[in-house]
Amino acid sequence: MAMAPESVFDRLEHLLPCVQKPIQYVGGEVNAVQSDWDAADVRWALMYPDAYEVGAPNQGVQILYEVLNEQPGVLCERTYAVWPDLEALMREHDVPQFTVDAHRPVGAFDLLGLSFSTELGYTNMLTALDLAGIPLMAADRVDGHPLVVAGGHAAFNPEPIADFIDAAVLGDGEQAVLALSDIVRDWKVAGHPGGRAGLLERIAKSGVAYVPSLYDVEYLADGRIRRVLPKLAGIPWRVAKHTLMDLDEWDYPRAPLVPLAETVHERMSVEIFRGCTRGCRFCQAGMITRPVRERSKAGIAAMVKRGLAATGYEEVGLLSLSSADHSEIAEVTTYLADCYSDSQTSLSLPSTRVDAFNVDLANELSRNGRRSGLTFAPEGGSERMRKVINKQVTEEDLIRTVATAYAAGWRQVKLYFMCGLPTETDDDVLQIARMAAEVIRVGREVSGRRDIRCTVSIGGFVPKPHTPFQWAAQLDHETTDARLALLRDRIRSNREYGKAIGIRYHDGKPGIIEGLLSRGDRRVGRVILEAWRAGARFDGWSEYFDFERWQSAASIALADEPVSLDWYTVREREHSEVLPWDHLDSGLDREWLWEDWQAAVDEEGVEDCRWTPCFDCGVCDQMGTQIQVGPTSVEMGMPTARGETGIPLSPRADSMA
Amino acid sequence: MSRQPPREFVAPVQRFRIRYAKRGQLRFASHRDFQRAFERALRRAEVPMAYSAGFSPHPKISYANAAPTGTASEAEYLEIAVAEHCRADDLQTRIDTALPPGLDIVEVVEARTPDFVQRLEGSRWRIALPGVSPDAAQRAVTALLATHDVVVERLTKNGMRRVEVLPAVVDIAVTEGRAASVAESSETCAIMQVVLRQETPAVRPDDVLAALRSVADLAPQVPPQVTRESQGPLAEGGNAGGITIGDPLAADREA
């Protein structure tokens, strides 16, 4: 057996006084697991490919970290992207990419799992591989190098990173990582039959993960894909996503990590359901995580209680894609507000639903707290635009909702919109200005105050795979910027209300690169490599992102191809075109997606199947899954499936005398 | 209609002074990092804290003279107020268990005297200089003490700040020893024992090192390792006739 790799901390320690926020590289989180290297036969390093402050709170990594470490014979540690200041010192002093748990070199693990919430983490993966001494190209790796596995939402089209990864897991990771661990263990126990290629073949044949190197991509002369086909018999033509059923059985994380370093989410999160069937056509998360699977109200109460006791956090967030949509959310919020109203614990419900019910929930959660701001997401400025994106909210709904909020004492309303949606015109975006002015007019009327505010926050739309807009042309960044400038001027020129309206937006350039990485194929891998070699790092951070670097990388890397940055982004695709991710199965029926795309152009809506009959998106039939919603019978505070109760734990429960 | 914050607050019935240490890897925690970790540990330990009033109540904790990020310490102090009667030894065990290893509670004493912070007159710092010989360090110290005024610049939140170093230096001695966290086999190096008076603005070990660099070109290749060993009232005397640092909790313990 190989010796346990030594901690690199002694070598790292001398570098830490010279970098920003050294505590992020130290680990030492409350509830971190210290595992015995020699007692494990399958060893995972999990990476969130962004800075520690963003990666450490990530729920996906925290869940898999616990699930894996609970498993006998399996060890799991975490690693995050190092900032360029430490990267330079690590290169100078020959310190490899390390885990924050035991500071072991990442290259010593059996598997390196990367969770990609966004495609903008791809260059950080390359930095980590390079610092770890793992060959960047999967084809150059040999026995002894970790198996590089991608997961997360971006893994639903892993083609742009197909050359760098060994495998990709689609969908929920809990069961998939256990299945992968078993395959790796069996292969090791059997004496590495077939070497690395043998292991990859086992994985591909199991269907647990997609192994890009075992598929050939053929192209047409014009640059489009001709077909994608498996290289070996017994390998699935299409690889399906994983869907976890019964969230109450998977109540992770049970002991959430509490980092010492400050992070972007200083709270404990409880995922109250997974999936969304609202059917917003721009929303990849909503499309690829179907069907809706709710955690029971008793399960939620138990997780809140146990998590607060394990972490000492002051705030609990009830997470999901649209938290007010949980079928028992009113009971849950009332119960939790009753339990914790006198315990210096605050509750938050990230929800952007535009209706009075949402305001009621927010009121309930802020019984004793300050009512500063509420957020709503109409997404589209005009009625027509909202029909195109299937955001079924009328202007009357919005005005009525914000009036309720201002009347209940909320001082600020934040409105989320998108710019660059399919079929959008200048006028659709300018409607945002009119709407915001109306919000202030009504707000002043119902609150009797002039100091209320409205902030308009606008994100650029990026078409994503596995959505009805996967065929759409992305709006070029020049037009996006021009439209946003028009909107800004329109808002500022409103003498009566303009000063009460804030506007937040970013320029359209980063969205174009996100678009390239989202809908790209394998040829885009060369662009990523070229950009990384030219210095691309932390592309999700505006202070590091450099559009010109990416543009130049694209023109160099695609010089001999009939395709270009524009070809991947601002080009509309036809029905017949083979899309790079067509062989990856999110459960959504391709014809249903196409019909929904056509319905979008025709400005027709589709209902939510939680409350209306099925409209055959394909997921439940193909995946053998079903919607799981309440009402549930077990009351909060009663034993759940796991035998735990949700009776609240007050921080001042017993006297210590 | 404007909503009023809830009126009730959780009133203190007792106060405790706590000496804690910041050791090993966790010396890289900043003071803010420590504050968050400590407040969460109090909640995990179910300490019945007193809270301030208002929309966002805060547990009543006062911190004193935090050691800089990257500096270890055996002698940090804070004070908490509790809403129910507690026993000092019980609090020490519970809070120490709830804190991550490396942030350790050294002692808890019930507060029975006023003016605690005023007793924190000075600190003794151990500065290990890996790669620097005791002779070289002694030469630099002698050169520093021979100068009259040394001003160093330090980058703070409010921009560059000029700090006069010498008025805060009560004592500097050079000995030989091992840097604390480096493996046994490592060579010995210069260890400076520096006593600094608590002043406003604070003069920190980094400022002394900067002064040694500017006056005597003392520029260690490896970052020095700094530990605050004690903090408290300054007094003349002791067997060697030098400066001693008293125990700031003695008055509370004896009261």
Same domain flag for A308 and A236: no
Question: Mean pLDDT across the stretch A378-386?
Answer: 96
Q: What is the number of CB-based contacts under 8 A between chain A and chain B?
A: 111
Angle at B169 between CA B165 and CA B175, to 5 degrees: 120
Q: Hey, is the C-beta of B26 within 8 angstroms of any chain A C-beta? A: yes
> A284 lies in a domain?
yes
Which of B184, B181, B225 has its CA nearest to residue B206? B225
B161 touches chain A (CB under 8 A): no
- Where b means 16+ CB within 10 Å and e means fewer, B95-129 reads bbebbbebbbbebbbbbeeeebeebbbbbbbbbbb
Query: Is A371's Cβ below 8 Å from some Cβ in B?
Result: yes
Could you tell me if A277 and A202 lie in one domain?
Answer: no
CA distance B248 to B125: 16
Contact A10 B29 (CB under 8 A): no
Q: How far is CA A51 from the centre of its chain?
A: 15
Confidence bin at A656 (pLDDT 50/70/90): very low
Counting residues of chain A whose pLDDT is more than 90, the rounded percentage is 87
Cβ atoms within 10 Å of B94's Cβ, excluding its own: 20
Determine phi and psi for B11, rounding to 5 degrees.
Answer: -80, 145
The one-letter amino acid code at A283 reads: C
Nearest by CB: B44 against A10, A260, A312: A312
Residues comprising chain A, all counted: 657
Inter-chain CB proximity B48 and A652 less than 8 Å: yes
- Interface check B12 vs A, CB under 8 A: no
Q: For A450-470, give the DSSP string.
A: S--EEEEEEEE----TTSGGG
Please enumerate in sequence order all residues whose Cβ is within 8 A of that of A539, keeping only pairs 6 or more positions apart, or say none.
A120, A121, A122, A123, A124, A510, A513, A545, A550
pLDDT-derived band of residue A329, with 50, 70 and 90 as boundaries?
very high
**Residue A191: other Cβ atoms inside 10 A:** 6
For residue B202, CA distances in Å to A554, B25, B73 come to 53, 24, 16
For residue A446, the surrounding DSSP H or E stretch is helix A426-447
φ and ψ of A333, to 5 deg: -70, -40
Residues A404 and A461 sit within 8 Å (Cβ to Cβ): no
Q: Determine, for residues B33 and A262 on separate chains, whether the beta-carbon distance falls below 8 Å.
A: yes
Distance, CA of A290 to CA of A286 (rounded, Å): 7
List phi, psi (to 5°) of A209.
Answer: -145, 160
CB distance B103 to B34 below 8 Å: yes
Express each pLDDT in B35-89 by its tens digit: 999 999 999 999 999 998 877 789 999 999 999 999 999 999 999 999 999 999 9
In a domain, residue A539? The reply is no
The pLDDT of residue B149: 84
- A507-539 pLDDT, tens digit per residue, is 999 999 999 999 999 999 999 999 999 999 999
Residue B240 is predicted with a pLDDT of: 59
Residue B46 contacts A, CB cutoff 8 Å = yes
A370 shares contact with chain B (CB less than 8 Å): yes
User: What would the mean pLDDT of A176-203 be, rounded to a whole number?
Assistant: 98
Q: In this predicted structure, which of A541-550, B215-224, B236-245 has the lowest mean pLDDT?
A: B236-245
A312 Cα to chain B: minimum distance (Å): 4
Is position A550 within any domain? no
Considering only CB atoms, B46 lies closest to which of A30, A260, A651, namely A651
Residue A250 belongs to some domain of the structure? no
Confidence class for position B243, pLDDT limits 50, 70, 90: confident
DSSP A479-505: HHHHHHHHHHHHHHT-TTTGGGEEEEE
For the beta carbon of residue B240, count every other beta carbon within 10 angstroms.
8
**pLDDT score at A357:** 87
- Residue A648, domain member (yes or no): no
Write the CA distances from B232 to A169, A324, A466, B113, B130, integer angstroms.
58, 55, 65, 15, 28
Please give the residue of chain B at the shortest CA–CA distance from A649: B46
pLDDT at residue A333 greater than cutoff 70 = yes
Q: Are residues A493 and A360 in the same domain?
A: yes
pLDDT tens, residue by residue, A4-33: 899 999 999 999 999 999 999 999 999 999
Q: Quick check: A401 and A412 in contact, CB under 8 A?
A: no
Whether residues A205 and A338 share a domain: the answer is: no
HEC readout, A608-656: CCCCCCCCCCCHHHHHCCCCECCCCCCCCCCCCCCCCCCCCCCCCCCCC
Residues A214 and A312 in one domain: no
Can you tell me which residue has the tokens 């966002």? B56
Instruction: Tell me if residue B71 falls in helix, strand or coil.
Output: coil
**Average pLDDT in the A108-130 region?**
98
Q: Is residue A77 part of a domain?
A: yes
Tens digit of each residue's pLDDT (9 = 90 or more) over A484-505: 999 999 999 999 999 999 999 9
Question: Which alpha helices (DSSP H) does B68-161 contain, by range?
Answer: 88-98, 116-119, 134-146
CB-side neighbour CA atoms (13 Å) of A179: 15
Q: Rounded to whole angstroms, how far apart are CA atoms B90 and B49?
A: 14
Which residue do the tokens 């570098």 mark? Answer: A15
Domains: count for chain A = 2
Do A116 and A149 form a contact (C-beta atoms < 8 A)?
no
Confidence check: pLDDT of A310 > 80:
yes
Bridge partners (DSSP) of residue A228 are A217
The answer on A109 and A72 residing in a single domain is yes
Residues A414-439 have pLDDT tens digits of 999 999 999 999 999 999 999 999 99
- pLDDT band of residue A108 (cuts 50, 70, 90) is very high
Q: Which residue of B has its CA nearest to A366?
A: B55
Mutate which of A12, A24, A26 to test chain B, going by most B C-beta atoms within 10 A?
Answer: A26
Q: If you measure CA to CA, which chain A residue comes closest to B51?
A: A344
Chain A neighbors of B48, CB-CB under 8 A? 651-652, 655-656
Q: Which of A 376-435 lie inside 8 A of B, CB atoms?
A: 409
| A305, burial (CB in 10 Å: exposed 0-12, middle 13-18, buried 19+) | buried
Task: Please provide the DSSP assignment of A145-162 as one string.
Answer: SPEEEEESGGGGS-GGGT
Q: Name the minimum distance, in Å, from the CA of A25 to any CA of chain B.
A: 9
Which residue is closest to A31 within chain B, CA to CA?
B100
What is the pLDDT averaged over residues B162-188? 81
**C-alpha span between A105 and A132 (Å, rounded):** 7
Nearest to A573 by CA among A428, A426, A468: A468
Same domain, residue pair A210 and A274: no
A38 and A168 inside one domain: yes
A653 has a chain B CB within 8 A of its CB: yes
Virtual torsion, Cα A306, B98, B69, A313, nearest 10 deg: 20
Distance from chain centroid for Cα A304: 22
In a 10 Å sphere around its CB, with 0-12 CB exposed, 13-18 middle and 19+ buried, how is residue A340 labelled?
Answer: buried
Q: What are the backbone angles phi and psi of residue B69, rounded to the nearest 5°?
A: -55, 135
- Does A309 reach chain B within 8 Å, measured CB to CB? yes
Paired tokens of A214? 């075992």
> What are the pLDDT digits (tens) for A446-468?
999 999 999 999 999 999 999 99
Continuous segment of H or E residues that includes residue B106: strand B103-110
B14 touches chain A (CB under 8 A): no
Q: How far is CA A354 from CA A285, A324, A457, in A?
A: 19, 10, 15
Whether residue A220 sits in one domain with residue A184: yes
Whether A218 and chain B come into contact, CB under 8 Å, resolves to no
Q: Give me A264's structure tokens.
A: 């972007």
Q: Residue A87's closest CA among A541, A545, A535, A539?
A: A535
A162/A70 same-domain check: yes
Of A103-112, A587-596, A645-654, least confident by mean pLDDT is: A645-654
**A627-650 tens-digit pLDDT:** 999 888 888 887 665 555 544 443
Same domain, A271 and A159: no
Determine, for residues B40 and A261 on separate chains, whether the beta-carbon distance falls below 8 Å: no
Q: Which residue has the higher pLDDT, B244 or A243?
A: A243
pLDDT, one tens digit per residue, over A125-145 is: 999 999 999 999 999 999 999
> Residue A271 CB: number of other CB atoms within 10 A?
21
Polymer length of chain B: 255
> How close is the nearest chain B Cα to the Cα of A258, in Å?
8
B238 to chain A nearest CA, in Å? 35
* CA separation, residue B167 to residues B12, B14, B147, B151, B195 (Å): 39, 38, 12, 11, 11
Average pLDDT of the residues in A385-392: 95
Over residues B185-196, the pLDDT tens digits come to 567 899 999 999
Is A345 in contact with A314 (CB distance < 8 Å)?
yes
B36, B42, B55, B92: best to mutate for the A interface, most A CBs within 10 A: B36
Q: Find chain A residues with C-beta within 8 A of B47's C-beta.
A: 656
Parent domain of A606: 267-523+561-623
Which residues of chain B are within 8 Å of residue A344 when distances are taken between CB atoms?
51, 57, 59
What span, in angstroms and rounded, lies between the C-alpha atoms of B77 and A521? 58
Best probe of the B interface among A8, A11, A12, A13, by most B CBs < 10 A, is A13
Is the CB of B56 less than 8 angstroms away from the CB of A651?
no
- Hey, what are A655's tokens? 């006297």
CATH of the domain at A341: 3.80.30.20
Together in a domain, A477 and A409: yes
Residues of A in contact with B100 (CB under 8 A): 28-30, 260
Whether A411 is in a domain gets the answer: yes
Residues 586-605 in A contacting B (C-alpha not used; CB under 8 Å): none
Encoded amino acid at A552, one letter: S
DSSP β-bridge partners for residue B197? B122
Cα A356 to Cα A397: distance, rounded to the nearest angstrom: 9
Tell me the sheet residues that pair with A210. A168
- Cβ contacts (< 8 Å) between B44 and chain A: which residues? 30, 309-312
pLDDT recorded at residue A369: 76
Tell if the CB–CB gap between A17 and B223 is shorter than 8 Å: yes
Q: Which of A195, A221, A240 is the C-terminal boundary of a domain? A: A240
Last residue of a domain, one of A240, A257, A282: A240
Distance between CA atoms of residues A597 and A434, nearest Å: 28
Residue A92 lies inside a defined structural domain of this protein: yes
Tell me the shortest Cα–Cα distance from A407 to chain B, in angstroms.
8
The H or E element spanning position B159 is: strand B159-164
Per-residue pLDDT for A654 more than 60?
no
